């Protein structure tokens, strides 16, 4: 998965390109490259690319001329991260260049065919075939736009692609299929990017091409058209996200900032959705009849979103009595699933671009099931594919490890569960009690964040351990999984989350003086059982870090460290309970000198399967 950025028109400089991909670096950062188009065809395209992180300033030798350019930040899928495999890729003449985000599935066959026609490939990537295809169609007499179209039609897979030609310095061609693309409309300039984050510094007016649509950008105009060349008219939308929201706001890392943003992001998630007048929830954005009719729910998600989904499962079952299953989206996609009637699918994804989840949605729709999405990024692929759902309104999440999106996802799932329950048998009183608990959440998250220093000191003590265990029950079991994932993601320590009752069925063999165990015991219902688990761990020399609710001192004497979070109702314990886990993982990673915002081998949004 990668980030693409292109700029044409007034105000263009190569620095603009660098800044653009820097804003997209969270999408991928193992190599980068830029292409600059001169004022006339003779000067050709200037290309510079390199492995490693995007520099703070342009290397020496990059020209300061040019009327248009494009840039790319890469997350490798085919071909190792090096300069050759970095984008932009050029054709044999050096006059055509492309940048690409996505995967071309039939690239091998195309590469073989093009090689047979005399094309010389320099890289190992799938993307390189795109520019050679265009070159081939140009050789066959097609003008540039048509050659571009024919190239796209030859490919199978996904692309968000931009093309420049030195013989056409006044335009950038763009195509979209399955990868995100947003076009920015300026005054005397236009842009293309994978993400609005790169657009916002220049303009707030954007258009979103659909899959199978292309566009030609000039300095003054954006013309959209389909692969059959019919011109399409795209709605211009105004972006409302703030640039400040994207910047770090005084924190050392985006992740730290986003952890601390959770009181306001959770508030924003709930804003306007609590219907006190009926003791219920009013979400909008989807056909409520689906929720009323649903006899089963299947949740599709990956990673942290999957953990949120698992919490949602308990919520739907315990509150609304709706049987719920949580599927890894990729597993669902290929498993030939059995879908019963009146099953509602809920797809969860922060970015709305997760390829596995998108495929799962498409499979569910193919099987005739209604689907709704829970997504953070407005206008993303999953949002569009579902056509209905709930946006998190959590603001942009830049840190690769998901934090505030997770808590907002859990809150949205809770809102949905309340709405479904109130449609069924939940009394007005219970509805009001849950609304009251929700209302207190932002303040309670704020109180939990005050534990930051305490958690930092715990983190320092355990930063050098090689393994961690996280245990929890019911609503805190998915939290155990999430805590372990957070630690793995950013500190590279192996960690495992297990249901507390499962400890004795195997994992307890791992417990010794080298094993810290994070015990999640903030729920009322299961405290007594957790005490037994903690005693078992203590007896075997494990280091116990317990997270408990205010007023519950039962684990104090047998834990090495106690983290006390405010009391709340059991279904909302994960929203508070995850904050110490996020902080713990964060501080351990910082202590170990890890790159918290851009951990190795990971990208923010996984748009490949």
Partner 1 sequence: MNIVIFEDNQCQNLYPLGLFSPLYDVPVGSWTLRAMIEQLGFPVSTIVRDHFLFDGGERGSGETRPAPVLFINASVEPNVRYLETIASLVKANDPFLTTSGNRVAAALVPPETSIPGDLTPDEVTPFLLELELPLEDELFRTIDLPHEIVASHLRIWDANIEKILASGNYTGKQPGVFVGEGVECAPSSVADTTKGPVIIDRGTKIMHFSYLEGPIHIGANSLVIEHSSIKNRTSVGTRCKIGGEVEETLIDSFSNKQHHGFLGHSWVGKWVNLGAGTCSSDLKNTYGSIRIDYRGNKIETGMQFLGSVIGDYVKTAINTSLFTGKIAGVASMIYGTVTTNVPSFSNYARSFGQVTEISLEQVIVTQNRMFSRRGVEQTEHDIILMKRVFELTRHERTMTEEQINF
Among residues 59, 238, 429, 528, which is the contact residue for partner 1, using CB under 8 A? 429
Q: Which of these ranges, 10-18, 424-432, 453-461, 499-507, lies near partner 1 under the rule CB under 8 A?
A: 424-432
Among residues 15, 187, 278, 342, which is the contact residue for partner 1, using CB under 8 A? 278
Helix (H, G, I), strand (E, B) or coil at 176: strand
Nearer Cβ to partner 1 (132/422): 422
- Please enumerate in sequence order all residues whose Cβ is within 8 A of that of 50, keeping only pairs 6 or more positions apart, or say none: 31, 32, 33, 59, 83, 86
427 makes contact with partner 1 (CB under 8 A): yes
- d(CA 69, CA 187) in angstroms, rounded, equals 17
Q: Give least dist CB 407 to partner 1, A.
A: 24
- d(CA 160, CA 146) in angstroms, rounded, equals 17
Size of the site for partner 1 (CB under 8 A): 10
Tokens of 304: 């942290």
Q: Give least dist CB 415 to partner 1, A.
A: 17
432 makes contact with partner 1 (CB under 8 A): yes
Nearer Cβ to partner 1 (276/504): 276
Q: Which of these ranges, 114-122, 166-174, 214-222, 421-429, lies near partner 1 under the rule CB under 8 A?
A: 421-429
Q: Give least dist CB 440 to partner 1, A.
A: 12
279 makes contact with partner 1 (CB under 8 A): yes
433 makes contact with partner 1 (CB under 8 A): yes
Nearer Cβ to partner 1 (238/429): 429
Q: Which of 2, 214, 386, 594 is catalytic?
A: 2
Residue 2 annotated as catalytic: yes
442 makes contact with partner 1 (CB under 8 A): no
Q: Give least dist CB 432 to partner 1, A.
A: 6
- d(CA 402, CA 359) in angstroms, rounded, equals 21
Residue 604 annotated as catalytic: yes
Q: Which of these ranges, 254-262, 381-389, 425-433, 506-514, lies near partner 1 under the rule CB under 8 A?
A: 425-433
Nearer Cβ to partner 1 (238/277): 277
Asked if 537 and 565 count as a contact pair (C-beta separation under 8 A), the reply is: no
428 makes contact with partner 1 (CB under 8 A): yes
Asked if 137 and 66 count as a contact pair (C-beta separation under 8 A), the reply is: no
Q: What is the CA radius of gyration of the chain?
A: 25
Asked if 330 and 356 count as a contact pair (C-beta separation under 8 A), the reply is: yes
Tokens of 230: 């019919």
Neighbours of 295 (CB within 10 A): 11
Q: Which of these ranges, 326-334, 427-435, 484-492, 514-522, lies near partner 1 under the rule CB under 8 A?
A: 427-435
295 makes contact with partner 1 (CB under 8 A): no
Closest CA relative to residue 351, chosen from 567, 222, 197:
197
Q: Give least dist CB 422 to partner 1, A.
A: 8
Q: Give least dist CB 316 to partner 1, A.
A: 20
Nearer Cβ to partner 1 (430/595): 430
Binding mask 484-523 for partner 1 (x = CB under 8 A): ----------------------------------------
CA geometry: angle 43, 48, 54, nearest 5 deg: 145
Q: Which of these ranges, 70-78, 254-262, 277-285, 349-357, lies near partner 1 under the rule CB under 8 A?
A: 277-285
The count of C-alpha atoms lying within 13 angstroms of the C-alpha of 254, restricted to the half-sphere facing its C-beta, is 25
- d(CA 143, CA 134) in angstroms, rounded, equals 10
Among residues 277, 284, 513, 601, which is the contact residue for partner 1, using CB under 8 A? 277
276 makes contact with partner 1 (CB under 8 A): yes
Let me know if 284 is exposed, middle or buried by CB neighbors in 10 A (0-12, 13-18, 19+): exposed
Instruction: Provide long-range contacts, Cβ within 8 A and 24+ apart, for 19-23.
Output: 19/201, 20/71, 20/191, 20/193, 20/198, 21/54, 21/71, 21/72, 21/73, 21/198, 22/54, 22/73, 23/195, 23/197, 23/198, 23/201, 23/246
Q: Give least dist CB 426 to partner 1, A.
A: 9
Backbone φ and ψ for 403, nearest 5 degrees, come out as: -130, -75
Binding site residues, partner 1, CB under 8 A: 276-279, 427-429, 432-433, 436
What are the catalytic residues?
Answer: 2, 604
């Amino acid at each position: 998965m990668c980030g693409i950025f292109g700029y044409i028109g007034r105000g263009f400089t190569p620095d603009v390109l660098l800044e653009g991909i820097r804003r997209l670096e969270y999408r991928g950062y193992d190599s980068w490259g830029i292409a600059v188009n001169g004022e006339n065809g003779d000067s050709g395209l200037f290309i510079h690319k390199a492995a490693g992180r995007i520099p703070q300033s342009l290397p020496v030798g990059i020209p300061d001329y040019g009327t248009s350019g494009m840039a790319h930040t890469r997350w490798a899928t085919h071909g190792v991260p090096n300069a050759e495999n970095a984008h932009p890729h050029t054709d044999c003449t050096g006059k055509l260049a492309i940048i690409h985000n996505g995967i071309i599935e039939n690239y091998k066959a195309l590469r073989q065919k093009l090689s047979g026609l005399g094309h010389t490939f320099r890289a190992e990537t799938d993307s390189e075939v795109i520019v050679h295809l265009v070159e081939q169609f140009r050789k066959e007499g097609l003008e540039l736009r048509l050659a571009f179209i024919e190239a796209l039609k030859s490919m199978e897979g996904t692309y968000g692609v931009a093309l420049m030609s030195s013989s056409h310095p006044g335009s950038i061609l763009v195509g979209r299929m399955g990868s995100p693309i947003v076009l920015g409309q300026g005054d005397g300039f236009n842009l293309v990017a994978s993400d609005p984050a790169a657009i916002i510094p220049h303009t707030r007016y954007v258009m979103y091409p659909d899959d199978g649509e292309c566009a030609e950008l000039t300095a003054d105009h954006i013309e959209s058209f389909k692969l059959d060349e019919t011109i399409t008219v795209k709605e211009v939308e105004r972006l409302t996200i703030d640039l400040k929201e994207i910047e770090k706001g005084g924190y050392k890392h985006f992740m730290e900032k986003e952890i601390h943003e959770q009181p306001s992001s959770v508030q924003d998630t709930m804003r306007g959705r609590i219907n006190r007048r009926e003791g219920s929830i009013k979400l909008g954005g989807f056909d409520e009849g689906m929720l009323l009719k649903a006899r089963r729910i299947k949740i599709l998600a990956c990673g942290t979103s999957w953990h949120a989904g698992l919490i949602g499962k308990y919520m739907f079952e315990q509150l609304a009595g709706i049987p719920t299953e949580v599927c890894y989206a990729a597993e669902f996609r290929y498993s030939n699933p059995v879908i019963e009637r009146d099953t509602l699918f809920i797809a969860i994804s922060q970015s709305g671009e997760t390829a596995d989840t998108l495929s799962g949605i498409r499979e569910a729709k193919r099987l005739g099931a209604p689907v709704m999405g829970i997504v953070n990024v407005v206008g993303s692929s999953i949002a569009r594919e579902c056509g209905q759902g709930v946006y998190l309104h959590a603001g942009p999440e830049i840190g690769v490890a998901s934090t505030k999106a997770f808590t907002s996802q859990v809150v949205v799932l809770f809102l949905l569960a309340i709405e479904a329950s109130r449609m069924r048998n939940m009394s007005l009183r219970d509805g009001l009690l849950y609304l009251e608990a929700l209302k207190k959440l932002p303040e309670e998250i704020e109180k939990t964040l005050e534990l930051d220093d305490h958690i930092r000191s715990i983190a320092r003590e355990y930063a050098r351990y090689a393994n961690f265990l996280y245990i929890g029950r019911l609503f805190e079991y998915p939290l155990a999984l999430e805590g372990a994932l957070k630690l793995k993601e950013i500190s590279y320590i192996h960690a495992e989350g297990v249901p507390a009752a499962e400890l004795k069925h195997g994992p307890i063999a791992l417990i010794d003086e080298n094993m810290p165990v994070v015990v999640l015991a903030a729920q009322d219902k299961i405290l007594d059982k957790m005490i037994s688990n903690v005693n078992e761990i203590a007896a075997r020399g494990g280091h116990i870090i317990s997270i408990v609710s205010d007023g519950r001192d039962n684990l104090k004497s047998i834990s090495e460290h106690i983290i006390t979070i405010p009391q709340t109702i059991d279904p909302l314990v994960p929203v508070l309970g995850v904050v110490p886990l996020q902080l713990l993982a964060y501080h351990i990673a910082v202590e170990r000198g890890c790159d918290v915002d851009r951990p190795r081998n990971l990208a923010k949004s996984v748009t490949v399967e």
